[in-house]
Structures are given as structure tokens and as C-alpha cells.
Amino acid sequence: METLDVDVGVVMCPSADSEPREKSAHAAAARGIRTSSSAPPPTPPPPPTRGAPTRVRGGDDGHATCGWVFHRDDVFARPLLARLLTALANEPAVKRVKGVLRLGSEWVAPAVAVGGDGRTRVALEPAAYRRDSRIEIIATNVAARGEIIKGEGEDDRVVDGDVVDRAGEAARANDWDAVESAIVATLKPPK
């Protein structure tokens, strides 16, 4: 589950610990190399614009992943970001949150830890990465849990209450639109 490892607009090579492969099926075909898939490579997602991230989804039968890449000029508000990350970290269906986010001149990565008192804490640790802001959420797949998220006539989207504080609930439902709304709500308005 390497959603954040996708470079917007460029197909990335696999990690160094895996077998080397061609960057694209087209490049492989040009060299006469057969790839494992006869289908053309997926079209890279469009680059993000200010306030409108690029979303990349993934997962398997047991987990759903969703990642967002934000424009380099997007800046997050620390207090709102901390609330969002805490809401996500406290949701049992959320297995991991990772990312690098810009808070003005400072760039941070979330570090989630459970204290001796059993409370989940999120610290925003300094990060050296500076290209763009990225966040990825890995959650248990709704279908794998066998949960019914909505009843007949009910909407499965999280729409009421504070969108930032309800991000964990949205992630549990694999409602990536609502999660994206919560993340975008943590952005500072452009200057």
C-alpha cells in the first residue's frame, strides 16, 4: 500500500527492495520486454491545484487506502490539522496515517503514539521533504468488516457535526469524499 509513493504526473518505480521493473509498459514494449500486464499503464492523476488535492485510492480485500497530494502552496493550520489527525488516530478502523504536511515555513510528519494511560497522541515532527504536502490513510475495508454503513434510505456520507472531528468516522466508512472535505477544511485560506 504505497499510495503516497505515487508521483503525480509520473509513474514511479517500485521500492529499492523489490525487483527492478520498467517505469512503464510503453517503455518496456519499446525495448521488446514483456510486462506482466497487457493493459496499458494507468493514466497518472492530474497535478493538484491550490485547495484541490489529487486523490489516489488503493487497497486490497482487507484494507482500503486513500492518499491526497496537495499543491506546494497549500498551507495547513496546525490546530485544525492536529484535531484531524487525532480524530483519525483514535478511530480503531484506521490502521495507519502517514504524510508530510506544510505549516508555512515548517514541514511536518504525523507521529502517532499510545501513552501509558492508553490515550492516543499525535505529534507533528519536523520533516525534510519539501516538494508538496501528502497524506495517506489506511483503514480496514468496510466490506472486509462486514459492516452495514447505511440503512435503507440513509446517506452513508458524514455530513453533520464538525467535519474535522468526524474524520475518523468518515474513514471507518471508507467515505473518502468526507475525509477529503475534512482534510481540506484544515487548510489556511490563501493569502
Residue 18's pLDDT is what?
A: 37
In a domain, 78, yes or no: yes
Question: 175-183 long-range CB contacts below 8 Å, 24 or more apart?
Answer: 176/55, 176/57, 176/66, 179/66, 179/137, 180/53, 180/55, 180/68, 182/84, 182/87, 183/53, 183/68, 183/84, 183/135
In a domain, 62, yes or no: yes
128 found inside a domain: yes
- Cα–Cα distance between 65 and 134 in angstroms, integer? 13
In the chain, the number of structural domains is: 1
Give the model's pLDDT for residue 27: 52
Domain enclosing residue 103, as ranges:
54-184
* Ranges of the chain whose pLDDT falls below 70: 1-38, 144-161
Q: Which residues are CB-neighbours of 24 under 8 A, at least 6 positions away?
A: 11, 41
Q: Cα separation of 147 and 124, whole Å?
A: 32
In a domain? residue 42 = no
Residue 22 lies in a domain: no
Q: Are 20 and 78 in contact (CB under 8 A)?
A: no
Residue 114 lies in a domain: yes
Tell me if 156 is assigned to some domain: yes
pLDDT at 116: 82
Q: Is residue 81 part of a domain?
A: yes
Give the single-character DSSP code of 74. Answer: -
Q: What is the CATH number of the domain that holds 99?
A: 3.30.1220
In whole angstroms, how far apart are CA 90 and each of 27, 79, 135?
44, 17, 17
Report the pLDDT value the prediction gives residue 167, as an integer from 0 to 100.
93
